């Protein structure tokens, strides 16, 4: 067995120590690299999760905005339908009211509070009473005209300010009817004179005639309301129908 010299053994120990230090240094560098890679991975995941969170938040906000817009459109559509139905109800009610106001049949109790005129003949009194009763009937339906007046701003708010004109027809029908009654009453009371054709025109405006002014104004009101409101209601009905 070969015996190593002292110097040879010393050299071997030195070489071993160098190899050990090199190995330790290599392991340290490896561990540091792994740590850096881990830190880099954590940073990348954190960044990725942040981006994903931003996208999710944006998506939820966008979906919520679309849902709100859809809800707002539905509410506005519901309001349009509600206003359209109310407008049509007022128009048809007004048509029925004017029909009742202009009925030729006059009851005695309707004119019993009419002021008397000295020396008035029974014929003139009866003629004057027929006009007086129509005026009373107009006053009896004051609530309808007041309700229509209050409703007009609502219709304009929902459908636009340009849609005020239908109510001009209703106002014209009432004012023309009342004016005809007052004028004819003065003629019958001998307070005012008029030609025969004027009396005929006034009587037509009160009880209805060939295209009289009251009927024309009332028809204008109803027709304009129908043209404005029926498409809104019909459109809603079409949307509710099942496909096919």
DSSP characters over 57-75: HHHHHHHHHHHHHHHHHHH
Minimum mean pLDDT among 29-38, 173-182, 225-234: which range?
A: 29-38
Kindly state the tokens that stand for 162.
């340009």
Looking at the domain assignment, is residue 9 inside a domain? no
pLDDT of residue 63: 60
Label residues 70-105 b or e (16+ Cβ within 10 Å = b). eeeeeeeeeebbebbeebbebbeebeebbeebbeee
Looking at the domain assignment, is residue 54 inside a domain? no
pLDDT of residue 89: 96
**More confident site: 66 or 81:** 81
pLDDT of residue 12: 45
Closest CA to 92 of 146, 168, 144, 134: 144
- pLDDT tens by residue, 202-240: 999 999 877 799 999 999 999 999 999 999 988 754 455
Separation of alpha carbons 222 and 165, rounded Å = 11
pLDDT of residue 62: 62
Contact yes or no for 181/206 (Cβ under 8 A): yes
**More confident site: 36 or 196:** 196
- pLDDT tens by residue, 36-49: 545 545 556 576 66
pLDDT exceeds cutoff 50 at 4: no
pLDDT of residue 30: 47
Minimum mean pLDDT among 18-27, 54-63, 220-229: which range?
A: 18-27
Structural domain range at position 155: 70-240
The residue with tokens 């330790």 is 24
- pLDDT tens by residue, 202-212: 999 999 877 79
Looking at the domain assignment, is residue 161 inside a domain? yes
Looking at the domain assignment, is residue 218 inside a domain? yes
Kindly state the tokens that stand for 150.
């209050």
- Hey, how many other C-beta atoms are within 10 angstroms of the C-beta on 11? 12
pLDDT exceeds cutoff 60 at 3: no
pLDDT of residue 92: 96
The per-residue pLDDT of the chain, averaged, comes to: 78
Looking at the domain assignment, is residue 7 inside a domain? no
Looking at the domain assignment, is residue 171 inside a domain? yes
Looking at the domain assignment, is residue 103 inside a domain? yes
For residue 66, name the pLDDT band (cuts at 50, 70, 90).
Answer: low
**More confident site: 4 or 191:** 191
Kindly state the tokens that stand for 221.
């009101």
pLDDT of residue 60: 72
Looking at the domain assignment, is residue 32 inside a domain? no
Q: How far apart are the first and last CA of the chain?
A: 106
pLDDT exceeds cutoff 50 at 10: no
Number of domains in the chain: 1
């Amino acid at each position: 067995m070969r015996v190593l010299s002292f110097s040879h053994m010393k050299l071997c120990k030195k070489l071993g120590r160098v190899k050990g230090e090199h190995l330790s240094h290599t392991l340290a560098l490896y561990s540091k690299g792994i740590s850096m890679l881990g830190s880099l991975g954590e940073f990348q995941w954190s960044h990725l999760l942040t981006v994903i969170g931003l996208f999710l938040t944006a998506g939820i906000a966008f979906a919520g905005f679309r849902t709100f817009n859809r809800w707002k459109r539905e509410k506005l559509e519901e309001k349009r339908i509600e206003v359209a139905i109310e407008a049509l109800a007022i128009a048809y009610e007004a048509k029925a009211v004017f029909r009742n106001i202009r009925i030729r049949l006059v009851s005695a109790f309707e004119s019993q509070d009419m002021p008397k005129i000295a020396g008035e003949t029974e014929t003139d009194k009866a003629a004057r009473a027929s006009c007086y009763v129509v005026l009373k009937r107009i006053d009896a339906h004051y609530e309808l005209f007041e309700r229509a007046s209050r409703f007009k701003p609502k219709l304009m708010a929902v459908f636009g300010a340009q849609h005020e004109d239908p109510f001009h027809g209703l106002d014209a029908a009432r004012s023309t009817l009342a004016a005809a009654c007052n004028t004819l009453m003065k003629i019958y009371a001998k307070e005012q004179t008029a030609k025969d054709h004027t009396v005929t025109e006034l009587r037509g405006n009160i009880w209805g005639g060939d295209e009289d002014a009251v009927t024309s104004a009332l028809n204008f009101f109803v027709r304009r309301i129908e043209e404005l409101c029926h498409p809104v209601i019909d459109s809603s009905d079409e949307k509710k129908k099942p496909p096919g």
